[in-house]
Amino acid sequence: MCGRSRSSASDSGSGSGDKWGGSVTIAGTPLNEAAWITYYLKKRHMIGDLKVEVYDAAGKLLSSEPGGKRRGINRYSWPMRLKPPKVPPGTNLVPNVYSFFGPRVAEGEYTVKLVKDKQTYESKLTLLPDPRSTHTAEDRAIQQKTVRELYDMLGSLTFVSDAVVDAREQVRARGAKLPKGDALGKKLASLAERLDKIHQGLTATREGRFTGEEQLREKLGSLYGAVNGFDGRPTESQLSYQQTLGQRLAAARKDFETLMTKDAAGLEKDLKAKSLEPIRPMSQEEWAKKQERG
């Protein structure tokens, strides 16, 4: 919050009574975009975990973070957002800062649990809309729905990108074990090139600084950041662009699945004849477990 005030001063030593006008900018500390959870410990917690968990109305765990263990009053700051979205690696940064923040959770009641070793203490937390906001409840609901869809689309994009890279590396590894000029090696090289082409359409891969290359990762990340950084209704062009990017993502996923079920599977007998392992595409469940392990 900024304000401007005018002040005057006199040089009493000169006796002239001259005055100088002045201005100063007064800036207050902005409100923390977080819900503060406060708890009291009679003594310092020494044995076992101590964490603060937040659940939505359906009982889904949204956040689980270590809490303060010192004696007395402890405060935990919950950002009221989901975890940052999954984004595949690329050679270009997504420019919008809100692309790196999770979606803000909707207003409503949430359950807070303090897990202290084997003991659990529970409380409720209610989030209310900002009374200064000019956005209607309907507009906020559409924004929240859209940003969650884009958030999930980024997760799906990351899975597809990781699965394509994993399959491509499997193909290259099999080909590296074959002599130069081998017929199967040529087929594997062709398959690796087609997988690489799919990957190039998913994320910027051109080396060098400030290439300006934008693929699905960069475009979807920018759109997500724009919608995530504004609490009001997304524009019609943003909603239309979401549909376009969704179609591109679905097409890329279908192309990858076709390569795996037809081309890669069609090489299984030849690979077996060369005592090489078949090419196995990563499942979404396997990918999710890898994400949990970090």
Q: What is the pLDDT of residues 59-70, one digit of tens each?
A: 999 999 999 999
Beta strands 61-66 and 19-27: pairing type?
Answer: unpaired
Helix, strand or coil, per DSSP, at residue 62: strand
Residue 13: pLDDT above 60? no
Q: What is the pLDDT of residues 168-184, one digit of tens each?
A: 999 999 999 999 999 99
Structure tokens at 132: 């200064």
Residue 58 exposed, middle or buried by CB count within 10 Å (0-12, 13-18, 19+) = exposed
Residue 273: pLDDT above 80? yes
Stretch among 22-36, 138-152, 256-270, 275-289 having the lowest mean pLDDT:
22-36
Q: What is the pLDDT of residues 214-239, one digit of tens each?
A: 899 999 999 999 999 999 999 999 99
Q: pLDDT value at position 97?
A: 85
Domain ranges of the chain: 35-86+101-127, 137-293
Q: What is the mean pLDDT of residues 10-28?
A: 47
Asked if CATH classification 2.60.40.3080 holds for the domain at 35-86+101-127, the reply, yes or no, is yes
Percent over 70 (pLDDT), the chain: 87
**Nearest Cα to Cα of residue 237 among 247, 227, 250:** 227
Residues 223, 143: Cα–Cα separation, whole Å: 12
Q: Which CA distances in Å does 1 have to 7, 28, 71, 232?
A: 19, 6, 35, 21
Residues 277, 282: Cα–Cα separation, whole Å: 14
Alpha helices in the chain (DSSP H): 137-175, 183-202, 216-228, 236-258, 265-266, 268-273, 284-293
Q: pLDDT value at position 27?
A: 57
Place of tokens 């300006």: 212
Percent over 90 (pLDDT), the chain: 75
Does the reported pTM lie above 0.85? no
pLDDT confidence band for 209 (50 / 70 / 90): low
